[in-house]
Amino acid sequence: MQRIFSGIQPSGIPTLGNYLGAMRNWAALQHDHECIYCVVDLHAITQWQEPADLARQTREMAASLLACGIDPRAHILFNQSAVPAHARLGWIFYCVTRLGWLNRMTQFKDKAGKDRENVSAGLYIYPSLMAADILAYHATRVPVGEDQRQHLELANDIAQKFNHDYGVEFFPHIEPLIMGPAARVMSLRDGTRKMSKSDASDQSRINLNDDADMIAAKIRRAKTDAEPLPGEAEGLEGRPEARNLVGIFAALTDTDHASVLREHGGRGFGAFKESLTALLVEKLAPIASETTRWLNDPGAIEAVLRDGAARAAALCDPIVAEAERLVGFLSVQGVKAGRA
């Protein structure tokens, strides 16, 4: 069985983009993979997080994942800072990664914007920690949204350079799993920008805890163009907002753009938006209520994360210890957890 690893930042309420691009695929993949899912709090602090909020958001993200159907007994769910091997392998990878590679990362350019001199070094180097997250488990498949593709290519470059530099075949090749018609959900206000937890406008996104009225209002106000929906997928060319709403509809009904348009082509956006709202409410309301149920029992969430961290550490400690041996670190018996 192939081993899967993926992560999500606890930097706010998950959006419909996180759900369709990642979380629901994570749940589906549990049937035929060994899955390790991580709430990546080390990644979250690459941008300032209020300490009290970070702990709460970590619990909330775990609750959302459990509500989306992650099974913490059959698989592993934990928070990244609880397993120190991520940071240990991260450091080794910082020394393998070339600056030229990081300079090509488009997400850094987007997030840093014009304020490059003033963002954290962590934000710049974070794709190397992401490589360590995955490779610490020798995981080979990584379900993510389209925006993470470039980071996974970098992870393969890092693995290959490590293997080359140390003359080993130690780290495997990893394969991105970028699935379905909503691998890149766009902002409801601007079809050329990604839907994001950190967008200043709450109207730009559906949050997984939005109630039916909020969902209806956001979809009603979502930007569209003046034409009715086309009858075929080619007609979405040059119409990013229409493509986005059709893609969301397709993902929620497990179909594709073409079959949504076969049914809804020719309709105006008013009617289509009503159908989309009903569908969103039907799919998201149970997740919101299940999340609330988990959040009413923070002790149970923490028990899941504690157990997950122990099982995650048991898998990655020997792999990271071997990477440290390959690098030439002197192993002082009994001093470092996980070293033989």
Q: Could you tell me the two tokens for 137?
A: 């488990």
Q: With H, G, I as helix, E, B as strand and everything else as coil, classify residue 29.
A: helix
In the complex, the smallest distance separating the C-beta of residue 197 from ligand TYM, rounded to whole angstroms, is 7
61 binds ligand TYM per the rule CB under 6 A: no
Catalytic residue among 161, 197, 283, 336: 197
Taking the complex as a whole, how short is the minimal distance between the CB of residue 182 and ligand TYM, in angstroms? Answer: 6
* Binding residue (CB under 6 A) for ligand TYM from 41, 147, 199, 241: 147
Structure tokens at 302: 């923490």
Contact pick of 12, 72, 90, 145 for ligand TYM (by CB under 6 A): 145
Q: How far is the CB of 5 from ligand TYM (least distance, A)?
A: 6
Question: Residue 4 in contact with residue 75, Cβ under 8 Å?
Answer: no
Assign 298 to helix, strand or coil: helix
Given a contact cutoff of 8 angstroms between Cβ atoms, the answer to whether 17 and 145 are in contact is yes
Two tokens, residue 134: 């995955």
Asked if residue 9 binds ligand TYM (CB under 6 A), the reply is yes
CA distances from 222 to 106, 188, 206, 212, 216 (A): 27, 5, 11, 15, 10
For residues 94 and 329, which CB has a smaller minimum distance to ligand TYM in the complex? 94
Interacting span for ligand TYM (CB under 6 A) from 15-23, 156-164, 235-243, 261-269: 15-23
The reply to whether 148 sits near ligand TYM by the rule CB under 6 A is yes
DSSP state of 230: P
Residue type, 56: R
String of contacts with ligand TYM for each residue 19-58, x by CB under 6 A: -xxx-----------------x--x---------------
Q: Does 144 bind ligand TYM (CB under 6 A)?
A: yes
Instruction: Look up residue 111 and give its two tokens.
Output: 């997030």
DSSP 78-92: EEGGG-THHHHHHHH
Minimum CB separation of residue 151 from ligand TYM in Å reads: 6
Among 18, 58, 156, 244, binds ligand TYM (CB under 6 A): 18
- Cβ neighbors of 147 (< 8 A, separation 6 or more) are 21, 107, 184, 194
Residue from 194, 218, 223, 273 carrying the catalytic annotation? 194
Query: Tokens in use for 26?
Result: 């994570």
Q: Which is nearer to ligand TYM, 39 or 233 (CB)?
A: 39
Handedness of CA 219, 284, 292, 49 (dihedral sign): negative
To the query of whether residue 194 is one of the catalytic residues in this protein, the response is yes
Catalytic status, residue 223? no
> With binding defined as CB under 6 A, does residue 287 bind ligand TYM?
no
Contact between 273 and ligand TYM (CB under 6 A)?
A: no
Distance of CA 124 to CAs 130, 160, 249, 296, 336, Å?
Answer: 12, 21, 35, 37, 29
Q: Which residues are catalytic?
A: 111, 194, 197
Binding site for ligand TYM (CB under 6 A): 5-9, 17-18, 20-22, 40, 43, 130, 133-134, 142, 144-145, 147-148, 183-185, 194-195
